[in-house]
Amino acid sequence: MKIFSKEQIYEGDKLTQEKQKISSTDLMERAGMQIFNWIHTRMQGAQVPIHVFCGIGNNGGDGLVVARHLITHGYNVNTYIVNCSDKRSKDFLINYDRVKNVTKDWPTLLSCEEDFSAITINEKDIIVDAVFGIGLNRPVDAWVKGLFNFFRATKAFTLSIDLPSGLATDKSVEDSEAVVNAGYTLSFQTPKLVFFLPETAKYTVQWEVLDIGIDPEYLFTTVTEADLIGKNEVLPIYKPREKYSHKGTFGHSLIIGGSYGKIGAVALASRSVLAVGAGKVTAYMPKCGYIPLQTAFPEAMVITDEDDEKITKITFDIEPTVIGIGVGLGTDTKTVAAMEAFLKSNKKPLVIDADGLNILAKKKALLKLLPELTILTPHPKELERLVGKWDNDFDKLKKTKAFAKKYKVIVVIKGANTITVFDDKLYVNATGNPGLATAGTGDVLTGMLTGLISQGYDPLQATLFGVYLHGKSADILIEQLGYQSIIASNVIEGISLAYLDLFKQPEQPQVEQADTEEQR
């Protein structure tokens, strides 16, 4: 699914009106009707008080459409106009007149000097936030911040239209009191990038996209800076297996890593290589890891360094398809030298994680030795060591894009909604949950990406598919284990379930049949 920018959304609205020969008011009616249908489907006429707060721009116009349909369907509706300017959009004014025609209780005008403490909203009521949407281009004044704090104080369920008011689509939040905290956001046609960034995702607990009929050709042909990667996006990537294939068909992965006390990282990565489908895996590690790995994971072959406790020289006589390096590696001086010598001679595709990244951060000159499309999988602190400190999430993405372009690498920013950065493009993963916040899951991801490249997936395909499967494994497992109890080994066991889920058909609702004499 594409994630459109604010400018692209405006362009899509304009083009849709031209091609479908509809007015902006018609498109607003369509959008408001979709929100009403969403609410009506869930409430079925329940007389819970609904408080619709409308700004005086187009988002407020959407809110007035919703309020009008709620009123005509007999809901208990209170409508308010956040009347803080003399500038009103044309479509707002049209819908303001329309809502006045369906009720004897006109919308309550709230001026910026007026105290709103007379409004009574209970915890079990519903607030519909239609104050600003994506069009806000000025700081939120103190009175409106007070209104948003009032929303929070009521503890009522808050539904935002298109975007929580006060939240910008393309910049960070400077004042948290100036943003609505939404329980749910109904976003038109596309999710917003801010739904997936650590600093801004917290302003909506859940979100959903509503189709308002934007021109299909525009949606299909427009190139976006960011895409959301879900099942529909990874299914075309999947490579089915030929009947007469064999283990050589799916490549030979080499995992280089481990040091005294960190052999488990290599075991996890090696297991993940085969669990995701590679044909063979060899682990290169210090001598101290030989017996533990051969015992814990007999499917792996092992090559050892001369040193008992760390890697001091990387030499092997096999021809791997792809190499994953860094898990549990350590940053001993001899290990750093060994990695530098390895990078100077290596021509194989690489996946680099953990201490492999830390070594690159210490010796930035090594970055120029990386093969094109090397995959780097940093967590936030490792990323900071590579690209430098950032001011906010947007600055982080900007710096990471510049880094990825400079060195022609793929950067996987691990975290909730892991974001893959390649060239000028962002790929936001739709799977995963806090259960992955546990030791070793990064080692599992390294093995999965390595194993997918081994099978013939190109590095970008492998990254998007591997990150998706990794998160989906955890999503399936939480139903059995809960967030707190998932460990990295469980994620490996869930890879097979994630594969099977790719082809699982949605459950169809069962229609109960009456037990009649005719049917018997």
SS (H, E, C) 228-296: EECHHHHCCCCCCCCCCCCHHHHCEEEEECCCCCCHHHHHHHHHHHHHCCCCEEEEEECHHHHHHHHHH
Supply 95's token pair: 């819908």
Give the C-alpha separation, 50 to 379, whole Å: 42
Residue 420, beta-bridge partner list: 412, 427
C-alpha gyration radius of the chain: 27
Asked if the model's pLDDT at residue 517 lies above 80, the reply is no
Q: Could you give the angle at the alpha carbon of 215 between the alpha carbons of 213 and 220, nearest 5°?
A: 115
pLDDT of residue 333: 97
Let me know: does 443 contact 488? Beta carbons within 8 Å: yes
Which three-class secondary structure state does DSSP give residue 352? strand
Among residues of the chain, what percentage have pLDDT more than 70? Answer: 97
Instruction: Give per-residue pLDDT as tens, 93-104.
Output: 899 899 888 887
Going across the sheet that includes 50-54, the strands are 108-111, 77-83, 50-54, 126-130, 157-161, 182-188, 204-210
Instruction: Give per-residue pLDDT as tens, 175-199.
Output: 999 999 999 999 999 999 999 999 9
Instruction: Give per-residue pLDDT as tens, 444-500.
Output: 999 999 999 999 999 999 999 999 999 999 999 999 999 999 999 999 999 999 999
Residue type, 58: N
Look up residue 107 and give its DSSP letter: P
pLDDT of residue 510: 59
pLDDT of residue 509: 59
Q: What is the mean pLDDT of residues 397-416?
A: 97
Instruction: Give per-residue pLDDT as tens, 126-170.
Output: 999 999 989 787 888 888 999 999 999 999 999 999 999 999 999
What is the residue-wise DSSP string for 178-197?
GS--EEEEEEESS--GGGGS
pLDDT of residue 511: 52
Biggest alpha carbon–alpha carbon distance for the chain? 87
Let me know: does 454 contact 279? Beta carbons within 8 Å: yes
Say what the pTM is.
Answer: 0.93
Supply 388's token pair: 């430098």
Least confident range from 136-140, 404-408, 409-413, 438-442: namely 136-140
Give the C-alpha separation, 266 to 261, whole Å: 11
- CA 105, distance to chain mean position in Å, is 43
